[in-house]
Amino acid sequence: MKTLQFRQAIAEAMSEEMRNDESIYLMGEEVAEYNGAYKASKGMLDEFGPDRVIDTPIAELGFAGIGIGSTMGGNRPIIEFMTFNFALVGIDQIINNAAKIRQMSGGQFPCPIVFRGPTGSAGQLGATHSQAFESWYANCPGLKVVVPSNPADAKGLLKASIRDNDPVIFMESEQMYGDKGEVPEGDYTIPLGVAAIRREGTDVTIVSFGKIIKEADKAADELAKENISCEIIDLRTVKPLDYETVLKSVKKTNRLIILEEAWPFGNVATELTYHVQSNAFDYLDAPIIKINTADTPAPYSPVLLAEWLPDYKDVIEAVKKVMYK
């Protein structure tokens, strides 16, 4: 094992795959000369040159479409968005082309492309730069959606995403790029659609993904002092979603809380809630609780932002509610 920052794990994953396959290239704003807006492609221009690490204008619709079209000629592009908020400019290409090329061509053209960049809030960035779109993309057939929470998962899942023959939405966080963690040496991948049990527990299941899972970890540490045992599941992949791991845990703990940085209407937590009550209703000793942001655009005020975004205190309150304490 070695210790890497999240951004280094991303760069390693891309570089290792590009060394092994010349059809892979990286394209996006500031990915080359500037080493990436968050330094997640540091050194890649020097190694692979401007034909495979390509700076673009501020034109997400254009370079998303170029990447998708290039898959039809045998390429496997990695498209970086400076933030997925900006991907809204190119979402027509993602939804109407990347997600549908395989079906509409009768299977003649797979679309092996990765769209990656940060999702969700990252401090005082304002409403238009603080949105989480995981559930939007997961709602579209033909797309896979990956949201890692640590450097080891980031590297293994990104390598698996690059090798996948379907379009993958790979969502990171500006607030995680400096996070450090142990990463296995050598080549490894983590299969898409497999959740990870981060913490074994017996009293309540907490499901989360991405950077906000840190709040679940904090809550579990505090609750352990009161002899409440939390099991924490990191989904890692939102689409396909690992229902079985969640169901198995709920059948053990009999309680479920879902923590997700997203608006409350029609999100990943909503889908998971429906699936669990449909398939494990008799095992539940309390109603499922989902914890989301407030149903408003993200505020700029730090005081309001702290109220808008869920934290470990909200998790502790929810756990005690389902425990009837």
CATH numbers and ranges of domains, the chain: 2-183 (3.40.50.970), 196-323 (3.40.50.920)
CA 293 to chain centre: 17
CA 249 to chain centre: 22
CB 58 within 8 A of CB 48: no
Question: Is the bond into 240 cis (omega within 30 degrees of 0)?
Answer: yes
Q: Which residues of 14-30 are buried (b: 16+ CB within 10 A; e: fewer)?
A: bbbbbeeeeebbbbbbb
Whole-number pLDDT of residue 273: 98
Q: Checking DSSP bridges between strand 168-172 and strand 144-146, what pairing results, if any?
A: parallel
Catalytic residues: 60, 129
CA 315 to chain centre: 20
CB 50 within 8 A of CB 32: yes
Q: Which two tokens stand for residue 196?
A: 């990870």
Question: In whole angstroms, what is the distance from residue 117 CA to residue 29 CA?
Answer: 11
Whole-number pLDDT of residue 22: 98
For the sheet with 53-55, list strands across it. Answer: 53-55, 24-28, 76-80, 114-118, 168-172, 144-146, 237-239
Strand (E) or helix (H) holding 92: helix 91-93
Q: Which two tokens stand for residue 305?
A: 């932002």
Q: Is 270 exposed, middle or buried (0-12, 13-18, 19+ CB in 10 A)?
A: middle
CB 128 within 8 A of CB 158: no
Whole-number pLDDT of residue 7: 98
Whole-number pLDDT of residue 119: 96
Whole-number pLDDT of residue 129: 95
- Find the helix packing angle between 213-224 and 312-322, rounded to 10°: 60
Whole-number pLDDT of residue 8: 98
Question: The dihedral of CA 63, 68, 69, 70: what is its sign?
Answer: positive
Mean of pLDDT over the chain: 97
Whole-number pLDDT of residue 174: 94
Q: What is the pLDDT of residues 64-118, one digit of tens each?
A: 999 999 999 999 999 999 999 999 999 999 999 999 999 999 999 999 999 999 9
Whole-number pLDDT of residue 294: 98
Q: Which two tokens stand for residue 273?
A: 């809630």
- Torsion angle defined by CA atoms of residues 215, 218, 222 and 224, in that order, rounded to the nearest 10 degrees: 100
Question: In whole angstroms, what is the distance from residue 203 CA to residue 227 CA?
Answer: 9
- Give every CB contact of residue 210 below 8 A, 6+ residues apart in sequence: 119, 120, 134, 147, 148, 149, 171, 173, 261
- Give every CB contact of residue 193 below 8 A, 6+ residues apart in sequence: 144, 237, 240, 241, 242
- Residue 197: beta bridge partners? 233
- Angle among Cα 78, 79, 83 to the nearest 5 degrees reads 135
In the predicted model, residues of the chain with pLDDT beneath 50 are: none
Whole-number pLDDT of residue 148: 98
